Structure 1
């Protein structure tokens, strides 16, 4: 995707692309060795616009030991770079002792259980956090800004199974802080029977208002990553993702 003109007021360097977009496609890259060996490799994602043009590239950085021992619950750092390889966003996920426990009723009220990702843009400047919020049955995330003020609620479906029979997307609705007004959507897209059955590759579609602050658009990319690890990858690994707290 051609780089827009820079100099947008209040826009971190590299996020100018997002001023022109109201949708993103996030495609995880297939690791053949992961399919053959069953070991978790560092995840990599291509972030595109709806025309299929690459906008960003995201790369997980984590240790082999964390991936083997904790699988989807692992701590990691993820960097997002533009097409010139310039790092524009950094995401950090610390390890939480009860992170990813599907039936942990303490998420949202107990810090050691509440999974989160901190987003920085440019790297070193925090623009917000995505936190695992408390609920009863439905997946729930809370998006806060740099001042820790609530901006969005994200609610997912009660059932996170994507079967050959269903062949349906999993929608995670993005609500304003009032919890009523829908302002966007994060969909884990059905990738086809072969990919769904034999690989762990995930494809997401992210929708948001065109005039949304670019920092909050970046936060929704971060929310997509937390959804991937906390719910989707955890379910694929059978180590406790899913329904809510």
Structure 2
């Protein structure tokens, strides 16, 4: 597959790029002063009216609502309609100069998602994360578990770095409007370093769209590559747990 350059759409006020930051992959300077990123999926009215799955688009914000990045999925039409989260896709992530600074890749794999056998190379969701484009900085992969979501984050040499686990039930509804938390821990799983979460979007959006809001928190002094890996993993959480139910509703 060949992927065209994605042009971001006009949006809210953009965060000003930090100055005097060196030794960081181009475009990731924004992350140097951040301890949180909020990812808001855009509502696709064509999807609401037609029931067809459109390419996902996201605004990425800092804690005060300024936009840091824009992300857009590139995928085949038929894959989106019939393959759900198993589809092949590339997430293009660009900064305020419309420069693509990160890329998240997911290859099509048939019959994945079973938590009991997910560690097998052919039976678990996996993404590859690049920053800048073409430079692989790591991976995030679904792991074996009895029931709860279990993801591990690896560096470019596939050495494990972090463990992400989720709740038994990640559902939200009128009677359950709290954030759904996915704590981020070190390899001992004794120390919580941050969290990924899905926010309650309100009855209308939850029932009729898959335009969700996610977030990730991490220590402000964490290495930039590690922040980028956790940010990239957030898209894996979205596709694994919050894409398929809405597609079925169509």
Q: TM-score range by the shorter chain?
A: over 0.9
CA distance in 2, matches of 1:82, 1:6: 17
Q: Which runs of 5+ in 2 are unaligned?
A: 1-14
TM-score by length of 1: 0.93
CA distance in 2, matches of 1:104, 1:97: 15
CA distance in 2, matches of 1:137, 1:126: 30
Partner of 1:15: 28
Deviations 1:76-122 (A, max 9, x none): 0111000110010011101111223xx452101x1111110000111
Report if aligned partners of 1:189, 1:204 keep a CA contact under 8 Å in 2: yes
Match of 1:3 among 8, 17, 35: 17
Aligned residues between the structures? 235
Partner of 1:192: 202
CA distance in 1, matches of 2:223, 2:186: 13
Root-mean-square deviation (CA), in Å?
Answer: 1.3
RCO comparison, higher one (Cα < 8 Å, 6+): 1
Report if aligned partners of 1:6, 1:16 keep a CA contact under 8 Å in 2: no
Partner of 1:123: 133
CA distance in 2, matches of 1:130, 1:64: 25
Partner of 2:117: 106
Partner of 1:242: none
CA distance in 2, matches of 1:178, 1:111: 23
TM-score by length of 2: 0.91
Report if aligned partners of 1:72, 1:237 keep a CA contact under 8 Å in 2: no
Q: Which runs of 5+ in 1 are unaligned?
A: 240-245
CA distance in 2, matches of 1:177, 1:122: 26
Is 1:70 the equivalent of 2:83?
yes
CA distance in 1, matches of 2:139, 2:186: 15
| Misfit runs of 4+, over 3 Å | none
